Amino acid sequence: MQQRHIPRHVAIIMDGNGRWAKQRNQLRAVGHRAGLKAVRKIVSHAAELGVKVLTLYAFSSENWKRPETEVSALMSLFIYALNREIKSLAKNNIQLHIIGDISKFSHQLQNMIINAEKLTQNNTGLVLNIAANYGGRWDIVQSAKKVALQVLQGDITVDDITEERLSLGICAHDLPEVDLVIRTGGEYRISNFLLWQIAYSEFYFTDVLWPDFNRTLFEEAINTFNARERRFGSVNVEGSLC
């Protein structure tokens, strides 16, 4: 039997917390707390499997549109999770990064993020990216601004603007390409998650609500990924007539 190939970079749209809570006649915040438990399980499983990078969509740039009570419950949960998990991330050799526009967060949260990243920066195991106030369009725009500045300063010309150069400003550009995107919660859309980075990713959608996502389902997603043939615009040479 062929050896199973573990995707190097897995990105997850963790959707369905609200519906999970609703099914139980609970507040949406209860669903978000249950979602945090699933995060713990999947982070440790990904690390055990040897996944190099795990990128989790925690809060989109559009999620500010939610009722104030839910936004503030999510911010409190973020602070709670950072406080509670940082020691175990550090101990388990996990390198934490927050991707997104963190300038919109409270000073307390911004400081916690900076400290947490610093504390784990020399870790060599799983790289864990948490996308918070992240938008794929924002990501492309902030990179384009950096390139525009280089042109303005005369460091490069317009002809020097290539995919490679624009890539350099995009979040997680220094990490392996996203191999697999998983979305839970039954919606078949990207919701402004990584746009640039998923040009050739494989997609796995499941109806399971995020708080119910577990190790077995993660394995199932990886097995499905293994059955895919990635051609990157080329042709499969095996079995080809020419």
CB 219 within 8 A of CB 47: no
Backbone angles phi, psi at 132, to 5 degrees: -130, 130
Residue 59's binding partner among ligand IPE, Mg ion, none (Cβ under 5 to 8 angstroms by kind) is ligand IPE
Helical residues (DSSP H) of the chain, grouped into ranges: 17-23, 28-49, 68-91, 107-120, 136-152, 163-167, 215-226
| Contact residue for ligand IPE among 36, 42, 61, 63 (CB under 6 A) | 63
Under the criterion CB under 6 A, does residue 180 sit at the interface with ligand IPE? no
For ligand IPE, the closer CB: 86 or 131: 131
Under the criterion CB under 6 A, does residue 171 sit at the interface with ligand IPE? no
**How far apart, in whole angstroms, are the C-alpha atoms of residue 189 and residue 183?**
8
For Mg ion, the closer CB: 8 or 66: 66
DSSP string, 8-50: SEEEEE---HHHHHHHTT--HHHHHHHHHHHHHHHHHHHHHHT
Task: Check if 83 is active-site.
Answer: no
Under the criterion CB under 6 A, does residue 213 sit at the interface with ligand IPE? no
Q: In sequence order, what are the residues at sequence separation of 6 or more whose Cβ sits closer than 8 angstroms to the Cβ of residue 210?
A: 14, 15, 16, 17, 20, 35, 38, 184, 185
CB 193 within 8 A of CB 181: yes
Residue 139 beta carbon to ligand IPE: minimum distance, rounded to whole angstroms = 14
Backbone angles phi, psi at 55, to 5 degrees: -115, 120
Give SS3 for 130.
strand
For ligand IPE, the closer CB: 119 or 190: 190
Under the criterion CB under 6 A, does residue 19 sit at the interface with ligand IPE? yes
Under the criterion CB under 5 A, does residue 139 sit at the interface with Mg ion? no
Q: Which region, judged by CB under 6 A, interacts with ligand IPE, from 8-16, 41-49, 218-226, 230-238?
A: 8-16
For ligand IPE, the closer CB: 25 or 153: 25
DSSP 8-class letter at 156 = S
**How far apart, in whole angstroms, are the C-alpha atoms of residue 72 and residue 127?**
27
Displacement of CA 135 from its chain's centroid (Å): 11
Catalytic residue among 17, 63, 129, 133: 63
Residue 58's binding partner among ligand IPE, Mg ion, none (Cβ under 5 to 8 angstroms by kind) is ligand IPE
Under the criterion CB under 5 A, does residue 15 sit at the interface with Mg ion? yes
Under the criterion CB under 6 A, does residue 14 sit at the interface with ligand IPE? yes
For Mg ion, the closer CB: 15 or 85: 15
Task: Check if 63 is active-site.
Answer: yes
Please name the amino acid found at residue 102.
Answer: I
Catalytically annotated residues: 15, 63
Residues in contact with ligand IPE by CB under 6 A are 13-19, 57-60, 63, 74, 185, 187, 189, 191
Interface positions with Mg ion (CB under 5 A): 15
